[in-house]
Amino acid sequence: MTPPQTQTGAREATETPVAPRVGPRPRGRFPWFFRAARSARPQGTVGGDAPEESTSDGLPSGATRSATDTVSDLAGAPSGREVGGGLRGVFDDGMLRRLERLQIVSARMHGAASHGGRRSKKRGTSVEFADYREYTHGDDLRQIDWNVYGRSDRLFVKLREDEESLTVHLLVDCSKSMDWGRYNKLAYAKRLAIALGYVGLATQDRVQAAGFNDRLMAPLPGLRGKGQAGRLATFLAGLQPGGGTDLKVALRAYTAMHRRSGLAILISDLLNPGGLEGLTALLDRGFEAVLIHTLDPVETDPDLEGEIELLDRESGQTMRISLDAMAIDAYKRRLSDWLAEIEAFCAKRMVRYLTASTAMPLDDLLFRQLRARRILT
């Protein structure tokens, strides 16, 4: 499975939109979306000026800003145990309280009994009553329900819910194609990862994070509790864009470092020459996977025409093409087919998949889209 045969990247000095590749499919390794710059237009006007927008959490949506600039205020986020664990510079108190009411949904439990906040199917020793069963030799006499014995003259022991802790793995694509867009895709991915990480920390899940491109970057060790939110935000803010994309290499390296599985949330534009087979590195090791596919509005609805020069942000390859309405329609059909292939791939492998436009306010994605897909509850 491959992305639609268009290519990525605008000239480094001009953060400009997407154009399709038409004609025969070229061979060889390269990303598929190219950002286009029409020489006849002034710099920064290709596809129209991006409107000024802000999300309900009070932060800019990322338009015309780099990934580093958009989250630069996180670099000094404290890790103390104040409200939001040091995230007041990222989200306001109202947003943090709403996040604290959410929980990341896991279809199965992955960890051993712990001081987590999730009810397990295993029976344990917490205070939460689960069921009765008849007493057998060797059972703890303290668990006998003497009230039931008085009524039935039979011995029953009380079963209680154990609590387990879910490990949430936040994996953020930091390749050069992510550091682009009318609404910067990497900045959006970082803020989304911080929000999801805070949800996990607030419910006593164990949260780990890592960035990747064509290799795995140094990961953040596991954190637990809202007091660690500042450390998580600082780590994610420090992820720098660069390089190409190789899901297979990066995810194999990640799973080799983690013996215990968990819920992996992968945030990427999926401009990966090797397709999605890299996801099997997670699935084969018992990880449950959620795939959030970031797309900029200019990638889904390009507003370009005429002679266009394309530059691949990751490989530096250039191409000149002529765009008209028929070419744009062909591009959109290929894009639709590509997204359908990804959705089918994920459905077959029980990976929860969601496309996320970077123009969508973050609270809309978190409280509506992710809840509708049972990624959050």
Span 180-229, pLDDT tens digits:
999 999 999 999 999 999 999 999 899 999 999 999 999 999 999 999 99
Asked if 197 and 77 count as a contact pair (C-beta separation under 8 A), the reply is: no
Can you read off the two tokens belonging to residue 155? 């011995």
- CA distances 142 to 138, 158, 163, 264, Å, are 11, 9, 20, 40
Q: What is the pLDDT of residue 273?
A: 82
pLDDT tens, N- to C-terminus, the chain (377 residues): 656 544 444 333 333 333 333 333 333 333 334 333 333 333 332 233 333 343 444 343 444 455 654 454 444 444 434 445 568 778 999 999 999 999 999 987 655 444 445 554 444 445 556 567 787 776 778 788 898 888 888 898 876 655 567 899 999 999 999 999 999 999 999 999 999 999 999 998 999 999 999 999 999 999 999 999 999 999 999 999 999 999 999 999 999 998 888 999 999 999 988 888 889 999 999 999 999 999 999 999 988 889 988 888 888 899 898 889 999 999 999 999 999 999 999 999 999 999 999 999 999 999 999 999 999 99
Pick from 253, 244, 252, 246: nearest CA to 280 = 252
User: Cα–Cα distance between 67 and 156 in angstroms, integer?
Assistant: 60
Domain ranges of the chain: 49-107+166-300+339-372, 120-162
Q: What is the pLDDT of residue 4?
A: 59
Residue type at 89 in one-letter notation: G
Q: Could you report the per-residue pLDDT of 120-161, keeping only the tens digit for each?
A: 444 444 555 656 778 777 677 878 889 888 888 889 887 665
Asked if 165 and 205 count as a contact pair (C-beta separation under 8 A), the reply is: yes
The beta strands (E) that lie in the chain are given as 18-19, 34-37, 113-134, 156-164, 167-173, 206-212, 220-224, 263-268, 288-295, 306-311, 318-323, 352-357
Domain 49-107+166-300+339-372, CATH homologous superfamily name and number: von Willebrand factor, type A domain (3.40.50.410)
DSSP 53-113: -B-TTSSB--BT--HHHHTGGGTT---SSSGGGS-TTTS-HHHHHHHHT--B--SS--S-E
Q: What is the pLDDT of residue 115?
A: 47
Question: How many other C-beta atoms are found inside a 10 Å radius of the C-beta of residue 74?
Answer: 22
Specify the DSSP element, H or E, that contains 198: helix 185-202
Q: What is the pLDDT of residue 81?
A: 41
User: Cα–Cα distance between 250 and 178 in angstroms, integer?
Assistant: 16
Asked if 167 and 222 count as a contact pair (C-beta separation under 8 A), the reply is: yes
Q: What is the pLDDT of residue 89?
A: 76
Q: What is the DSSP code (8-state) at residue 49?
A: P
CA 7, 12, 18, 22 dihedral sign is negative
